[in-house]
Structure 1
C-alpha cells in the first residue's frame, strides 16, 4: 500500500468585539466562488503551520499576526478530490488594518455572524466553525 499524502490547508479565524468572524467573498477562483471563506492558504514546504498562517494573514488581508498569538481551534481531516488536513487557527491579537490585498480573488472582507443562516459560508468551513462553537477540536468529513 502506498504511503498516504495530504494537502495542508491553513485557515485564520479573526473575531471582532461582537464575536463575528472575518470572511471574504470568493471570486474568480474556480472553486466556491460567491461563497464566504476565511483568510486561508496552503502550507508551503519548509514552514511551520503557524508561520504559514501568519504569512497568509499578511498576504491576503494585510495584517500581522505573531505565531505566538495563534491558537489551534480545530483540525479537520476531510476528503475532496484528495485527502486534506485543514488547520483552523484563531488569532488572539493582530496588528494592522484589514485590507483586500487580492481583489482578483476576493470581492471584499467583512465580519459576519457564522451562525447567521443567510451567510453563504463554504460548507466545510461552516461545519468546522460549528465544531469550534461546540468545543470540538477534531472532525472528519467526506470519507466513505
Structure 2
C-alpha cells in the first residue's frame, strides 16, 4: 500500500438475537483483536454488495436486509505498517437463521463466533472498540 492513501473498508454487524458475529484477526493491522467480518470495497461496488460478498467469502453465510449504519475515520499510526481507513459499517441478518459460520480464510481469521452485545470479547478492533465505548448500539429499535 502506498503511504498516505486512505483505504475504504466495509464491515458487517451480522445480528442474531442479541448477539453479533466476531472473529479474531490475523493481520498486520491489529493482529489478535476481535473484529466484524468485512474487507475492502472494490471498484464499482455498492456498500451492500461489498458487505454481502465479503461475508460470503469469509464465513460462507448469506445475508438479508443489508443497510448502512455509520462510518468511522481511523488512523493506525502505531502499527508496523501505518495506515488510514475509512470504514463503512453495515447491518445485516442471516438469510437462513440455521446457517452456521465457517472459517473460509484461516490465514486472516482464527474463527467466527457469536458474542452477546453486552459481553463482548477483548481486545476489540479499534474502530469497533471506539463505537462500543461511545455507546453505539447496532440493534434496531423496537
Q: Report the TM-score when normalising by structure 1.
A: 0.75
Of the structure 1 ranges 90-99 and 43-52, higher mean CA displacement relative to structure 2 is found in 90-99
Higher strand share: 2
* 1:106 corresponding residue in structure 2: 109
Distance in 2 (alpha carbons) for counterparts of 1:31 and 1:5: 15
Q: Does the alignment pair 1:86 with 2:82?
A: no
**RMSD of aligned Cα (Å):** 2.5
Of the structure 1 ranges 35-44 and 75-84, higher mean CA displacement relative to structure 2 is found in 75-84
* 2:8 corresponding residue in structure 1: 8
* 2:79 corresponding residue in structure 1: none
Cα offsets for 1:13-69 (capped at 9, x unmatched): 11222x121100112x22222110110100011211111111001001111225xx1
Distance in 2 (alpha carbons) for counterparts of 1:52 and 1:107: 22
Distance in 2 (alpha carbons) for counterparts of 1:35 and 1:76: 17
Distance in 2 (alpha carbons) for counterparts of 1:52 and 1:21: 19
Question: For the structure 1 residues 92 and 79, does the alpha-carbon distance in structure 2 shift closer, same or farther, using more than 3 Å as the test?
Answer: same
**Gapped regions of structure 1 (runs ≥ 5):** 136-144
Contact 2:23 2:36 in 1 (8 A): yes
Question: For the structure 1 residues 61 and 31, does the alpha-carbon distance in structure 2 shift closer, same or farther, using more than 3 Å as the test?
Answer: same
What is the aligned counterpart of 2:128 among 120, 125, 128?
125
Cα offsets for 1:76-124 (capped at 9, x unmatched): 1233345432111010343343111111221111112344375221122
**Secondary structure of 2:70's partner?**
strand
**Gapped regions of structure 2 (runs ≥ 5):** 77-81
Matched positions, count? 128
